[in-house]
Amino acid sequence: MPPNRSRKSRSMPWILAGGRMLSFGETFRGTAMSAQPEAKPKSSAAMRYLFLFLLGLVIGAIGVVMLMRTWDARKTPQDRLPEALMDLQAWHAGKLDEAIKQNRCDATNTIPHFRAMRSTGEDLEAAFPDLADDQRFKDHAAKYRGTLDAALASPPLDCAGVGTTLKQVGEACKGCHQDFRN
């Protein structure tokens, strides 16, 4: 059976110091307390300036990203529509180009893309309200829609036909981009 300890000694936590177990009430006897602590090497002023410079760069980069995201968040759907419309039409044209390269040009693979491009062609005037009254813009949009209407009325049955139709659509796009793109 362990020796009987008083309540006070049982509740005192023990710590390990210098290889000996000491309670909080004991002192370091016999240890060299007068020894000098190790000298830390002084950091140069250049290192501190470099650290502050790098810290400033990181904080500045974070601030710029936050500012740009704030400006982007202020855009309305009308501000995003022109770019989204062009991206969607380019995606469908890219899928048609992939179908040509893979020799998968049957109507079931091409008509959905032509139909989607024709559908988005209806939104050209809405996407570019400042150009909607310009006759050149109207002519380019009409040529684009007319090319797609012809492709939907008599779908191309082979890759050569799809390529020709895609080239005509691309020419309609190119004409408008040459006249109006910044």
Which pLDDT tens digit goes with each residue over 69-94? 999 888 888 888 999 999 999 999 99
- Is 38 part of a structural domain of the chain? no
- Is 137 part of a structural domain of the chain? yes
- Is 30 part of a structural domain of the chain? no
In the predicted model, residues of the chain with pLDDT beneath 70 are: 1-43, 182
Cα separation of 67 and 158, whole Å? 50
- Is 150 part of a structural domain of the chain? yes
Predicted confidence at residue 92, as pLDDT, reads 95
Q: How many domains does the chain have?
A: 1
Predicted confidence at residue 19, as pLDDT, reads 54
Q: At what angle do helices 159-180 and 77-101 cross, to 10 degrees?
A: 150
- Is 41 part of a structural domain of the chain? no
Q: Are 117 and 93 in contact (CB under 8 A)?
A: yes
Cα separation of 24 and 111, whole Å? 85
- Is 154 part of a structural domain of the chain? yes
Q: Are 116 and 137 in contact (CB under 8 A)?
A: no
- Phi, psi dihedrals of residue 23, rounded to the nearest 5°: -95, 170
Predicted confidence at residue 180, as pLDDT, reads 86
Structure tokens at 157: 């049955």
Cα separation of 145 and 118, whole Å? 6
- Is 176 part of a structural domain of the chain? yes
DSSP 98: H
- Containing domain of residue 166, as a range? 78-180
- Phi, psi dihedrals of residue 128, rounded to the nearest 5°: -125, 70
Q: Give me the CATH number covering residue 142.
A: 1.20.120.10
Predicted confidence at residue 80, as pLDDT, reads 87
For 3-41, give the secondary structure using H, E and C. Answer: CCCCHHHHHCCEEEECCEEEECCCCCCCCCCCCCCCCCC
Cα separation of 110 and 169, whole Å? 14
Find residue 138's DSSP bridge partners. Answer: none
Predicted confidence at residue 182, as pLDDT, reads 61
- Is 101 part of a structural domain of the chain? yes
